[in-house]
Amino acid sequence: MSSQPSHALSVQEGSPHPLGSTFTGDGVNFAVFSAHATRVEVCIFDEAGSTQIGCVTLPEYTDEIWHGFVPGLLPGTRYGLRVHGPYEPENGHRFNHHKLLLDPYAKAHMGVLEWAPELFGYTVGHPDGDLSFDERDSAPFVPKCVVVDSRFEWTQTDRLRVPWQETVFYETHLRGFTIKHPGIPEHFRGTFAGMARDEVLRPIRELGITSVELLPVQMFVTQSYLEDKGLSNYWGYDTLGFFALQQRYMDGPHIDEFKHMVDRFHAHGLEVILDVVYNHTPEGNELGPTLSFKGIDNRSYYRLMPAGDGPGPRYYVNDTGTGNTVNLSHPRVLQMVMDSLRYWVTEMKVDGFRFDLATILAREPDGFDEGGGFLKSCRQDPVLSSVKLVAEPWDIGPGGYQVGGFPPGWAEWNDQFRDTVRAYWKGDEGTAAQLAQRLTGSADRFNKRGRRPWASVNFISAHDGFTLADTTSYNDKHNEANGEDNRDGHSDNRSWNCGVEGPTDDPAVLELRARQQRNMLATLLLSQGTPMLLAGDEFGRTQQGNNNAYCQDNEISWVDWEAAETASGRSLRAFAARLLALRRELPVLRRNRFLTGHYFEELAGKDSTWLTPAGDEMQPAHWEDGHTRSFALLLDGRAPVSALPVAAHDVSVLILLNGWQEPVPFVLPPAPGGGSWQLRIDTTDPALGSDGEGGFDRYVATGRSVVLFAARARA
């Protein structure tokens, strides 16, 4: 197609900084990185995004950045890029100026991606495959970039900066959380505006949550194979625009909607944590479409196979399992990711990030490198080093499992906590010693280099896997609705259906399931580390046994607010709220340093002591006994909370864990400091008041139960 404008647009030299499109008050500056392009054009479209009304060639090339200034353009201008250069797949180059490309730095998009053969740089079905060259225009099928006006009047001017040891994460999907919420007008359901409403935020804060982690809200696409099956990319782990918002969550290309949501979160005392995906893009491998990075500078943006005896740079490194891997070893690609993160903090005022497949981001050509460019950049950056950074510390590449391997300043999802807690309450043998590690902050993984217990983000369930209720209701996954013959999703869920697979009216099974859910909630919220709840687990949300609902934008994934109003739903939520209130009330449950088990002469005791049901201290033989199911943990509230030998004055707690199916009598140790044990939690009795009975020296723990006592030392 012709790249000539349909009407005249003037262009000036402009500036190579900042990258992307920037409205200056009298026009728009464009700057695009490409180390291997020969020409870059900016094409302007009408308001509907359907007709190209002008096109300019960026006149200057400075430090591998193409740039130019177009006078008279205003915010709201729709545009795309056409990038010229060699089409040499065997050398890693896939330039095709017939394909309209998204600006990697675009702050907003309009329109949706429509899958069509024109999106591909090669001719689909051609005998030469990706070595062929397609000359059809892709503009009618791709979204258009939008120039934004970033001005916004905030009512909450500062981030909340919730201390790590007080943090409680709540993972949720913005659309799924709001789409059926009865307190949201229908027009706002599934949007940032709906999530911003007081009817949504107030109950989250009242539950005891401090930080809401939103599944991806950056611009993502649904792959064609899902659309062909009538499914969608519900979770959003296929980001194409690292600076732009997902348009379906908005009324239009107006970033103010997101800013207003963040402002309301902060007004309610809630942090906003974004789940972000910088490890791959939806452009896939050599047979994938050309949508942005592949056509701008494929050889820079992606990790390609090395030249030589191997397959060569025609093919992509696939450590993500999605076809490609973003090349953060390249300085400009690393800059893009860092610029994106800083944008969300400084311009959008979010409070932190959870990084999908974070091991990928720390990979250099030789593999995971704890001193790699991305991790070093985050550590020294004055903006990013001050926000919450959470890693999903695994990928499918060599050496990809890195729980505990990230540097100081990072927290990490701890799947060992999830697996151990589920296995213990399921009744698996030989889990007691592992559970002890998880209860006390997983020091075996994180107690090094001055890291703190909060580095372990503990969870029982997350978006990926069974919900808490399904962990107690299904032995096996039931993913038939995903259209993959139930082959997808994890098979090792460490779940137990309590005797019946799926829904039941059996009151004994329902009571046991409810108690097992309370047991796991209690284990999570009474453990050292940073707890994370999956939205809806506090009232028993189910996905009908689907443990991989990534493509289910329907009742399988949506939060069922009617279930929250049932008697069982209200009871479980009240119990979760009580646990979180206890966590706030009792500092010993959220110590900012690891428990050591060391003896303190001035206290005549240890900061933590493991006890048998008979009241004796646990010995190695007890831990090595695979049949050990019942034990207790004593946390002395007088133990120093810093390296200074200064006694604390916190309340002590005693946690009884009975994973055995029968009642077990416990002999309670003397309360530290001469206090008296007061019963605060028994998962057998969810209605137990906060001011439970006192003066216990013995207690019979019901089969499969958690019991918490608290005692204040005498003055």
List, by residue number, the catalytic residues.
356, 392
264, 270 Cβ separation under 8 angstroms:
no
Element (H, E) at 227: helix 224-228
CA distance 294 to 98: 13
**Phi and psi at residue 658, in whole multiples of 5°?**
-120, 95
Rounded CA-CA distance 78/52 in Å is 9
**Two tokens, residue 490:** 């994890």
Cα 68-239-126 angle, rounded to 5 deg: 85
Task: Check: CB of residue 234 under 8 Å from CB of residue 176.
Answer: yes
Torsions phi, psi of 460, nearest 5?
-100, -35
Tokens for 562, please give them: 């009617």
Sign of the alpha-carbon torsion through 459, 464, 465, 469: positive
CA distance 417 to 422: 8
349-372: b (≥16 Cβ within 10 Å) or e: bbbbbbbbbbbbbbbeeeebeeeb
Q: Which of 660, 495, 699, 678 is nearest to 585 (CA)?
A: 678
CB 439 within 8 A of CB 453: no
Identify the DSSP state of 651: P
DSSP string, 541-608: ---TT-S--TT--STTTS--HHHHTSHHHHHHHHHHHHHHHHHHH-GGGG-SS-----EETTTTEESE
- 371/363 Cα distance (integer angstroms): 10
Residues 90, 45: contact at Cβ < 8 Å? Answer: no
Which SS3 state, helix, strand or coil, does residue 359 take?
helix
